[in-house]
Chains A and B, each alone.
Chain A
Amino acid sequence: MPMLRGFLILVLFFLLGEALRMLFVLPVSGGVLGMILMTLTLMLRGRVSDDLATASQALISVLVLLIMPGVVGVFFLASQFSGQWLAVATALLLGTFLSVLTTLLVMRGVLRLSTQGRSND
């Protein structure tokens, strides 16, 4: 029962997010809106109920199961994108290398600057 109660809360936040998306014609999915609303609500309440923690842990632990049907599509729809595989592979490999490099350098740089600033105070 606790798990179902928590699940109901998650479903209600999702429906609320979907309703907001339709009402204001937002380009963001209802799930993301629901997640933002959930985080804000928890920040206001200051704690997570056991029901909600149980349900969210259960769902997050089977995320792989939930995305599997989508992944399967790659093998069945691959032919649609024939001729673009070089572009896709290069974008994924080179693009990811560059973005990892960017993240590490920027964060290290800012962290150094902010700790230096603090020690000068």
Chain B
Amino acid sequence: MTELVNRFIAIPDLLSASPILAIGLTLTAFFVGNWLFARLGKPLWMPPVLLSAVILSAVIAVLSIDYVRYQEGALWITVLLGPATVALGIPLYQQIHHIRALWLPIVVTLPLAATMAAVYAVVIAWALGATPEVLASLAPKSVTAPIAIGITEQLGGSVALMMGGLLITGVVATLFVDLLAKWLPVEDERILGFALGLNGHAIGTARAFEISHTAGAFSSLGMGLTGVFTALILPLVFRL
């Protein structure tokens, strides 16, 4: 009987030798997270990715699966981020007429705001004594995840820390845009959408689509352009 129990306890560890366990767990957590998000009434401060990640971490910890082994198995999923980044070029192309119509405000705002999004964070963290690895992990905090992972790897930061920063940035950027829109005030949906995408990447874009379709389009645009601009500029700046 004890032998049976022992064999039962050993199952997760034995199964984790194959990537299929990591894939199964990640997919399950993804669907449970999305279901829970809908059940909670889609709260802005608790995006599905955070819910799913918390559930997944808890399961990995409870089953005492080796984290490094999990990551090896999950490579079957994360390797798709490359083609997924390329896929972002399609919505970017579909919004090209928005760029043409408002090219001047976009051309002026984008380089300045995208640069400052990184500079504010890096300077504040540096002033408070953060290590270079932490600085490299915080720099792409406003960039959409598939692009940001590439940037952090190039800069030598920690992808895990960067992902955490990305999540928090997306959530607070959404709250700050709502707040400042009332204070300043800014009512133009194009500006609000662009600010949401530029600062709050995919999480901000999800919020922008709740405001209106125009805000959503401008948010996707802000997210895409910030990703490309930051990916091109940051590695060059960090090299110096």
Contacts and interface: CB of A to CB of B under 8 A. Distances in A.
Contact of A38 (B53, B61, B89, B191): B89
Given A10-B86, A69-B71, A104 B235 contact: no
Nearest to B191: A107
Contact of A59 (B80, B122, B173, B192): B80
B70 A108 contact: no
B125 A88 contact: yes
B120 A55 contact: no
B107 to A, nearest CB: 9
- Of B78, B89, B90, most buried by chain A (CB within 10 Å of CB) is B89
Nearest to A29: B150
Nearest to B234: A27
A101 to B, nearest CB: 6
Interface stretch (B8-16, B38-46, B128-136, B208-216): B128-136
- Of A35, A53, A93, most buried by chain B (CB within 10 Å of CB) is A35
A74 B96 CA distance: 36
A68 B87 contact: no
A36 B84 contact: no
A59 B84 contact: yes
- Of A37, A56, A100, A110, most buried by chain B (CB within 10 Å of CB) is A100
A99 B110 CA distance: 11
A90 B92 CA distance: 32
Interface string B52-89: 11101100110000010011001001101111111111
Interface residues of A, number: 72
A40 B71 CA distance: 34
Given A28-B235, A64-B49, A70 B86 contact: no
A87 interface: yes
A64 B154 CA distance: 22
Interface of A: 7, 10-11, 13-14, 17-18, 27-32, 34-39, 42-43, 48, 52-53, 55-56, 59-60, 62-77, 80-81, 84, 86-88, 90-108, 110-111, 114
Given A31-B150, A70-B163, 5 more contacts: A38-B89, A38-B90, A91-B121, A104-B184, A110-B105
Interface of B: 22, 26-27, 29-30, 48-50, 52-54, 56-57, 60-61, 67, 70-71, 74, 77-78, 80-94, 96, 102, 104-105, 108-109, 112-113, 116-117, 120-122, 124-125, 128-131, 134, 138, 141-142, 145-147, 149-151, 153-154, 158-161, 163-165, 167-169, 172-173, 176-177, 180-181, 184, 186, 188, 191-192, 194-195, 198-199, 202, 227-228, 231-232, 235-236, 239
